[in-house]
Chain A
Amino acid sequence: MSIIVDHVNYIYGADTPLAVAALKDVCLQFPDGQFVGIIGHTGSGKSTLVQHLNGLLKATSGHIYFDGEDIYDKDYDMKKLRSRVGLVFQYPEHQLFEVDVFSDVCFGPKNLGLDKREAELRAYDALRRVGLPDELFYQSPFDLSGGQKRRAAIAGVLAMKPDVLILDEPTAGLDPKGRDEILHQIKQLQTQTGMTILLVSHSMEDVAEYVDRIIVMNKGSVLYDDEPRKVFRHYKELEEVGLAAPQVTYVLHKLKEKGMNVDVSATTIEEAADTVLQALGRR
């Protein structure tokens, strides 16, 4: 179910004097089963990009291939695409509307034309996967806590059984505890189901320890596309575009400048501690 983005351009308000190029000649490939972080600050084009992947926005020029088929072909089934590429928007709890959590999660599968039984089975499965306790299933979604609402909303997309799951800033507005729990759950989901997951975020530190690959967006273009430790090598350039590498990267680089023989590619606390101790011991 790979996705190929081929020279995609997108111009906002194309036929008005206020036209802005939101995506500039973006070329990307997303192979099966990868966990990808898409990083950029507000206005970098990262949200615009992911809305192209399920056809909510149409590129001004360029092509997008899903599973080998061009999604801009005249008779391409957009509705089907949207069920296979699930997109969870920022603050997804704002889309909850049903009387109880369970019915809300059923909304997606029902729209796919599934019968009641199948829709409910999927809803149940999805709610379990996001770790929402059973006793909340029949509560009004508006009575849940912030973190629970968000899980319910994610389940709403998950219940469509997409092959690719895109989450646009799934941790925005949550506290550290809520953030860690959600990210953990997403990682678990990825290892259990092997689905492709694209995680859009403005925080490197948040995604660094979870993803296999990081795409850095800036001003509508792809700035870096590599595994995390290689991307963090450019910590000075990242700073210039308003992003930051994880703090340990800074410490290690500072130590290196001071002549200590540390491995600057370490990204987690453990790795950093190891390399610092090694450098100290080797004195």
Chain B
Amino acid sequence: MGIVKASDVVYEYIRRDDEGNVEGITTAVDKVSLDIRQGEFIAILGHNGSGKSTLAKHINAILTPTEGTVWVDGMDTSEEDKLWNVRQTAGMVFQNPDNQIIGQVVEEDVGFGPENMGIPTKEIWERVEESLRAVGMYEFRKYSPNKLSGGQKQRVSIAGVLAMHPKCIVLDEPTAMLDPSGRKEVIRAVRGLNQVEGVTVILITHYMEEIIHADRVFVMDRGRIAMEGTPRQIFSQVEKLKELRLDVPQVTLLAYELKKRGVALPDGILTAEELADALSAYY
């Protein structure tokens, strides 16, 4: 069994009107199964309301499935006595950088998780230092979070999770509220986490260019997994992506357009370099 495994997970919630009467039932996650191996970089794509964030919250045991089971490192997330172990194993970074920083000083915020876990003081300091170094925020350790940019705040949040020594980090649209340079900063930190620290990463996003480096990609639509594969496999299905109302990068679109008009190009081109190389070979 992998680090995160879901089998036939269903999550339903009841919609109520103003008087509290049941209006209907919404199925946010519908029979999803996946198996993620230790050390993988997974991306989950989908537009708003596709169920991707709901699924993510299951991995951290913020939500538990209505039907089916989620295991994190072999622990069933529905078992209440495993709750804190699950949360320690699978950390979570949220969308809004302001609403997840608790400390008034960067280093104190990073220490918050270890403090909750009852780690001895000396070790907390060691963990805080290494985590801040891993995301390149060590120089800012004495800063007030209010003085940092959005990208820097998200890196602090990542360090805060990293200091709990999780095996897996789930990032729920960590870049949705950032500008392009902040987005790059965060994605770079996330990749470092995966490659240098060997942490399993589950990145939830709607930006296609952020998934280029993933090992595997899941595309969600209406609570189900609509596509699954390597980034290259996913990007080669331009029509289907458009149908799922996702944003296909311009390079991929251009390659697709050229192919349609009879230029023989390889499938699933991801970067400007690749396209230029392929075209000049043709030339």
Direct contact of A and B (CB under 8 A): yes
Contact A176 B150, CB 8 Å, known A205-B250, A251-B275, A277-B263: no
A90 to chain B, nearest CB (A): 10
A195 within 8 A of B: no
Contact A41 B179, CB 8 Å, known A255-B280, A277-B258: yes
Query: Which residues of B are found within 8 Å of A255, using beta-carbon distances?
Result: 276, 279-280
- A 244-283 contacts with B by CB, 8 A: 244, 246-248, 250-251, 254-255, 258-260, 269-270, 272-273, 276-277, 279-280, 283
Contact between B206 and A280, CB atoms less than 8 A apart: no
A42 within 8 A of B: yes
Query: Which residues of B are found within 8 Å of A192, using beta-carbon distances?
Result: none
Contact A280 B276, CB 8 Å, known A145-B49, A176-B245, A203-B180: no
Query: Which residues of A are found within 8 Å of B250, using beta-carbon distances?
Result: 205, 246-248, 269
Contact between B180 and A277, CB atoms less than 8 A apart: no
B257 within 8 A of A: yes
A13 within 8 A of B: no
Query: Which residues of B are found within 8 Å of A205, using beta-carbon distances?
Result: 250
Contact between A280 and B272, CB atoms less than 8 A apart: no
In the complex formed, the residue of A with least CB distance to B274 is A251
Query: Which residues of A are found within 8 Å of B263, using beta-carbon distances?
Result: 276-277, 280
B48 within 8 A of A: yes
In the complex formed, the residue of B with least CB distance to A146 is B48
A-side interface residues, number (CB < 8 Å): 38
A31 within 8 A of B: no
In the complex formed, the residue of A with least CB distance to B269 is A251
Contact A41 B279, CB 8 Å, known A146-B48, A178-B48, A272-B254: no
Contact between B245 and A177, CB atoms less than 8 A apart: yes
A161 within 8 A of B: no
Contact A172 B48, CB 8 Å, known A42-B149, A276-B258, A277-B258: no
- B 231-283 contacts with A by CB, 8 A: 245-247, 249-251, 253-254, 257-258, 261, 263, 272-273, 275-276, 279-280, 282-283
In the complex formed, the residue of B with least CB distance to A270 is B257
Q: How far is the CA of A31 from the CA of B23 in the complex (A)?
A: 52
Q: How far is the CA of A254 from the CA of B48 in the complex (A)?
A: 35
Query: Which residues of A are found within 8 Å of B180, using beta-carbon distances?
Result: 41, 202-203, 242-244
Contact between B254 and A258, CB atoms less than 8 A apart: no
Query: Which residues of A are found within 8 Å of B150, using beta-carbon distances?
Result: 42
Q: List 25 A-B contacts (CB under 8 A).
A: A41-B179, A42-B182, A145-B49, A173-B177, A175-B47, A175-B48, A175-B206, A175-B245, A176-B247, A177-B245, A178-B47, A203-B180, A242-B180, A243-B180, A247-B250, A248-B251, A250-B272, A269-B250, A269-B254, A269-B257, A273-B254, A276-B258, A276-B263, A280-B263, A280-B283
Given A251-B276, A260-B279, output 15 extra A-B contacts at Cβ < 8 Å.
A43-B149, A173-B176, A176-B206, A176-B245, A202-B180, A205-B250, A247-B249, A258-B283, A269-B254, A272-B254, A276-B254, A276-B279, A280-B263, A280-B283, A283-B283
